[in-house]
Amino acid sequence: MATQLKNLSDFSQTEIPSATAYRFGIVVAEWNAEITNALLQGAYNSLVNNGALPENIVTHPVPGSFELTSGADLLLKTGKFDAVICLGCVIQGETRHFDFICNAVANGISNVAIKYSKPVIFGVLTTDNQQQAIDRAGGKHGNKGDEAAITAIKMANLAETLNS
């Protein structure tokens, strides 16, 4: 969680393995595109800056955050990826729709990870308003896309370590 005490883009206190050996899928929601495009840019840059080869990063758009689950499932079904990053943004509105979508996406992403025994990363902002989303998509609290990419690298490395 990003706060004044934690910046989503600060990994100075942790060791990040090289991403050179891994293949990453990124599924990004088109809904709230201003935010999700910033998350995508952060994730992509973080992967490349930590050794991922551009040809080993595949990005696929899906209509909204709800579709991230099926997008991740379709990518992992190919057997081509070591980790999948799901990027989206759900902003609280006037109805309970927010609660249903956030719950479904979180559970769906977890279920896909378990189904394939592969890291599927929850890079979804669930904010009260647009400004909070901007602050977490490259603004004053860093970029959730950076955090999602570093998590994907670390989890792909953990899976490789445990499987060897």
Domain boundaries, the chain: 27-34+63-163
pLDDT higher at 38 or 164 = 38
Catalytic residue set: 97
| CA–CA distance, 114 with 93 (Å, rounded to integer) | 31
Question: Residue 164 above 90 pLDDT?
Answer: no
At the top level of CATH, which class does the domain 27-34+63-163 belong to?
alpha beta
Contact between 52 and 45 (Cβ < 8 Å): no
Residue 1's pLDDT is 58
34 vs 93 pLDDT, higher one: 34
Q: Is the pLDDT of residue 35 over 80?
A: yes
Compute the average pLDDT of residues 12-29. 96
Q: What percent of the chain has pLDDT over 70?
A: 97
Contact 24, 55 (CB under 8 A): no
Give the three-class secondary structure for 95.
coil
Global pTM reads 0.95
